[in-house]
Each structure stands twice: as C-alpha cells, then as structure tokens.
Chain A
Amino acid sequence: MSARIVTLVVGAVLLITLPFWMPGVYYLNVASQILFYAVFAIGLNILAGYGGLVSLGHAALFGIAAYATGYLLQHGFGHPAAILIALVVAMASTALYAVLSLRASGIGYIMITLALGEIVWGLAYRWISVTGGDNGISVHVRPEPFGIALTSASAFYYTCLIVFALSTAMIAIFVRSPLGAALKGTRDQPRRMNALGYHVWAIRFWASMLSGLLTAIAGILFVYYNQFISPQTLALTASAEVVLMVIAGGASTLFGPVVGAALVVIVKSVVSGYLTRWNFLLGAIFVAIVILMPEGLVPGTVRLWKLGWRKTIARRPKIFKAGGPPV
C-alpha cells in the first residue's frame, strides 16, 4: 500500500514539475496530448474495461464535442457559453448513442457503435454547410480563464493536468462506488445481476453517460489544443486508436489507459517523424497485443519475461470471454 502511495506521489510531483525540466515546447505539447488522450481513454475504459462494452464509435462523441465547440466559437459565442453548450450537445448525443447501442452487447454492440461512428463521420464529412466538410473548422483563440492566457504551452499543459487529475480521481471513486461495482457485475454476469434485481440496462446507460462526459471534455481540450477539427478526427481509425490505448495499457485498470495513451501518442509523434506508415504500425501493434498479451502491455511484458515464448502462447489468459467482452 505504501509503495503505491509513494509511486503516486512521485508521479504527481513529476507531472506538476514537468514544464520546468522538460527540454523544449515540443515535448511539453506531447505531454499535453498524452494527458487529454488519457482522459479520452479513461472515459472509454469505463465502457470497454469495466462495462465490457467495446465501443468502436467513441471518436464520434469526441468529435461531436469538438465540432460543437468549434462551430459555436465560429458563430461568435464566448468561450464559457461555447464549452457549456458543446457539453450539453455531446451529452444529448451520448444519450442517443447509448439508447441505440445498448440494445445489444458483445458483438452486436461493437457493430452498432461502429455504424453510429460512421454515421457521424459521414455527417462531418458531407454536411458541409455546418461542418466545413474536408476543410474542417478552425478555432483561432484559446480561452483565458481568470485572466490566464492558455496560449503558452505550459499554461495549456496545466489545464490538461488539472482535468486529467480530476478525471482520474472521479474514476477512482466511481470504481469503488456501488454503481461501479454494479457495472462490473453486469459485465461478468449480466443475467445474474438481472435476477438479483439490478436494472442492467440503466447501469450501462449511466456508465455510458459518464464515459461520454469524459470523452466530450477530452474532445474540447483537443479542439483547443489543435485549434482545428476535421472529419479525420472522427474516423474509424481514431476510434480504434482509443480502443488500442485502453487495451494496450490494460483494460479495467485505473492507470492502464494512461500508459496506453502515452504509448500511442509517443509512438505516433516519434514514428511519424521518421516514416509515414503509422497506420500499418498501429494495425500491427493492435494485432500483436490482442493475440499475444490481451491483458495489456505492462502485465503482458512481465509474463513474457517470466515464461518462455512457447509457454506464453499456451498460458495466454482468456481476457476476451466467449461471446463477450474483455474481462
């Protein structure tokens, strides 16, 4: 227990002091990206990890929040109003998304979320009068909360850090709450939970809403960071990237998605500097992780280290249960 606390304190100190020892703005920006993608991955982890519902359309919710913010700013709204309305729009979309997708679980859920994600992508791409089509929407200014301009890399980094810390705390509390426990119950034994009198659908619905909230917040941070949003952000590739973050780090663990987000963002920024074949690498990592270490990179590497290669294949844990989601 104390080792855990020490790790947490060291981690927090490192994150807080990061702008002082990080050499250069470029790396600070990479750190900001890792943080808001981590919020996104934490949001998806609620569903894919704790809920056992692998959503392949989460980039749509991320994108809706980002597009709404961009659209409202473009039409002369102030930052607080734009952010607030964007959150409301994103939550309404999430509710609709949940109502439609929660008719199924397992494979059906994957298919419906994928299709919903494609619909939203299609709208972003084709509904040019609203979204600007392929040209996207540009956001020219970042907000200035309490008079602090977020234009500098370190100010933006601290904004991301605060949001990230709040999200992590929220999830830590959520997982230990009765709702969190019930969600894990619906993942492992939906029929027994139903028999015990739990409303499985409602539990999944509220988990989706919480997931959607974090996703939307991450989307708003994204649009302020990039100051630009285009249909590419909503594509299936983007949804798959987040699923990869969650699975790579370790689904249904508190810090797994954070590790996954760091991995994906770093590999992406570093690799794209040298070669343009990022998608190939993404696919290859995806396939390798799902087949070789479905429980996530960190525990998987430890297991690979301890056992030989041959034994690893034989003793690979069945994270993905028959007919269902990762456990």
Chain B
Amino acid sequence: MSFYLVLTVNSITFGGLLFLLSSGFSLIFGLMRIPNLTHGSLFMLGAYFGATFVGGLLGFVFNFWIAALLAAVLVAAFGAVLERLLLRQLPGQPSAQVLVTLGLSFMVADFCLMVWGGDPLSVQTPDSLVGFVRLGPLAFPLYRLAIIGIAAVVAIGLWLLLDRTRIGAMIRAGVDDPDMARVVGIRVSQLFTTVFALGAGLAAFAGIIGAPILSVYPGLDQDMLPLALVVVIIGGSGSLLGSFFGSIIIGFIYNFGQALLPELAYFVLFLPMLLVLLFKPQGLFGRFVP
C-alpha cells in the first residue's frame, strides 16, 4: 500500500516537471506549428547552467533559486536568439524548421559534452527543503512536494497569463488562426519570439528544478524530448489544459511502468500516445490536427 502511495507522489512530481517542460513545447507548437526538437536540449542546458551556478562560478556560489532563475533567463535569451536568427530564416517552411531544430539539438548535446564532460553532475537539494513530511507511517520527501507546489503555481500563472492578459489573448488568437490574427493587427512574428523565449525559459527552469531528482547527464535531452512529445500528442498542441493532463497521465505511466514493467517501460509509455493518435488525432484538448 505504502509502495503505491509513494509511487503516486513520485508520479505527480514527475508530472509537474513534465508540465513545466511541455507547456512551453505545446505553446510553441500551437503558435508556430512546429515541434521544437531543441526543447529537450533547452531542458538539459538549463540543468547544466543551474548546476554550474549552484556549484560555484568564478568563486561565487549562487543560491539554488537564484541559480534556477538565472539559468531560465539565460536559456530564454538563447531561445529568442535561436528563433530570430535561424527559424526566422525559413518562414512558412515547417519541415525545414523542424530539421533545423533537430540539427541544433545535436550541436547543443555535443557542446554540453564538450564543456561539462561525460560524468553526471549531481545537484544538492536546497537546504530549506531537505527532509521529509511524515504522515502516519509514511514519509514523503519535502522537495518532491515542493516541486508539485511550484508546478501548480506556474500552471496557475500561465493560465492567468493566457486567459486574463492582453498578450495571452494575442497568443490564443495566434494559435487559433495565425492569418486572421495578422489581419486584425497582431504582430504574430513578434509573438513567435516571445513564446519561444517563454517556452525555452520554462524548459530550462524545469531542468534545474528537476536536477536534484534526475541529476544532470549527457543524454538527458534525449530522455526528456520524447516525453514532451508524447505529452503534447496526448494532450493536444497549443492547449495548456492538454499539457497539464497529459503531463499527469505520463507522469503516472512513466513511474508505474518503470516500477512494475521495467523491461517494457518505454513501450507502455508510448501506448496511450498510439491510442490517442488512432482515435482522437488532435489530442484530448487540442484545437487542430498537426
């Protein structure tokens, strides 16, 4: 019983991380109509940056949260530059854009290997969140509960941003009908850069927040990208609600699959994606079929 309860908490934690990763992925997909294959790399880049800041850079050791924010801002800027300099070169050619993001992901992966080497870096849990919450005979790590809290706060923040602000309305208009949005005077191409930077920052933030649990290693990008892809296929691209539910579903399937069917964990993970593709190709909450 306690085994399943602990597994459930772990699943929700992982779902929270996945939400941070995939909400940006989903927004970029919804607006620009391309799956950003560098998204796993941005996650990994954020994790490496954060780990470097926490470990001490030029003799200055950063606080965990400041390091996380700094990494997110840096990677967001990197994302904006990517969008402006490279993807902008290929307007209206989604297949070419996807291939460019794929090529970039290889470059980032090799860059990280070059700079940080092949050994995994471990990141200490921030001091204030070490320890357990006891509930009768059960003990839950405080840090995992904190991740759930952070993901919930980000989810609410994103929802408010998209649903209650002017820029959110512009993004929603862009997702629903980019051409019509242009006609009514929304500068959709500027939104591209904004959303790309936002998504990159969120992915990087997820990377460093997840680092104390997942650690940081070469190949982290390749582990996370398919998960984001599955979440968005299940939830539906461009939908915040979709990536929320998709993340929770995949969080559960991933953790339970790893624990109960370790040999077929990947297979089990992709099964719901195939079911969704077969029966509801736009995803559970999606607005269009990619």
Contact = CB atoms under 8 A, between A and B. Distances in A.
A7 interface: no
A127 B104 CA distance: 30
A255 to B, nearest CB: 21
A283 interface: yes
B99 A290 contact: yes
B102 A115 contact: no
Nearest to B37: A114
A283 B95 contact: no
Contacts of B107: 279-280, 283-284, 287
Interface in A100-135: 100, 103-104, 106-108, 110-112, 114-116, 118-119, 121-123, 125-129
Interface string B214-237: 000000001000100110010000
B109 interface: yes
A244 to B, nearest CB: 8
B106 A115 contact: no
Nearest to B105: A283
Given A107-B34, A119-B270, A322-B94, A126 B263 contact: yes
A5 interface: no
A283 B103 contact: yes
B95 A326 contact: yes
A125 B92 CA distance: 37
Contacts of B264: 123, 126-127
Contact of B278 (A103, A243, A283): A103
B285 to A, nearest CB: 17
Interface residues of B, number: 46
B288 to A, nearest CB: 10
B86 interface: yes
Interface in A229-246: 235-237, 240, 243
B93 interface: yes
A277 B110 contact: yes
Interface string B83-121: 000100110111110111011111101110110000000
Contacts of A260: none
A6 interface: no
Given A115-B270, A127-B263, A290-B90, A104 B281 contact: yes
Interface string A300-327: 0000000000000000001111111110
A38 interface: no
A324 B95 contact: yes
B35 A126 contact: no
Given A107-B94, A319-B96, A119 B267 contact: yes
A254 interface: no
B274 interface: yes
Nearest to B109: A279
Contacts of A324: 94-95
Contact of B289 (A104, A285, A325): A104
Interface of A: 54, 56, 100, 103-104, 106-108, 110-112, 114-116, 118-119, 121-123, 125-129, 235-237, 240, 243, 247, 277, 279-280, 282-287, 290-291, 294, 318-326
Given A240-B106, A286-B99, 17 more contacts: A103-B281, A107-B98, A107-B290, A108-B289, A110-B35, A119-B267, A125-B266, A277-B114, A279-B110, A283-B106, A283-B107, A286-B100, A286-B102, A320-B96, A321-B93, A322-B92, A322-B94
5 contacts: A115-B229, A121-B266, A240-B103, A277-B110, A287-B100
